[in-house]
Homo-oligomer: A and B are copies of this chain.
Amino acid sequence: MTTSPVPVNLADKLSQFSDLWSQKKIADLNDYEVKLAKLHGEFVWHTHDDTDELFLVVSGRLTIRLRDGDVELGPGELFVVPRGVEHCPVAEEETAILLLEPAGTLNTGDGGGPRSKAPEAL
């Protein structure tokens, strides 16, 4: 087995970090990574040309700005940003999200810049 038979408790994992805009890997699913992050404020506009990206809000509220309009997510709501679609995550309050995308997906996509950061293991 590649995973020990212990469940991952999202609230417990979220209690283990406080830094913002830093993805924490909590599980692998084939060549995908399940990650948590805490957001507050505005990120950068970027695009993932090679992959869709799933956002699920655990607590707080997330706005995913798209060039076509905003998507507003509360707890228990998810949205998949299709590959190639420019987006900018914004959280007016501190917000916890679960992310799912292929391993190696850069948080800033094609945007690069100082906010690029690889996921960390929790």
Contact = CB atoms under 8 A, between A and B. Distances in A.
- Binding site of A, secondary structure by majority: helix, strand, loop or mixed? strand
B9 A76 contact: yes
Given A29-B52, A54-B34, A80 B10 contact: no
Interface stretch (A39-47, A63-71, A106-114): A63-71
A104 interface: no
A14 B46 CA distance: 32
6 contacts: A3-B81, A5-B68, A7-B78, A9-B77, A27-B78, A58-B76
Interface of A: 1-3, 5-11, 26-30, 32, 34, 51-54, 58, 66, 68-69, 71-73, 76-83, 85, 100-102
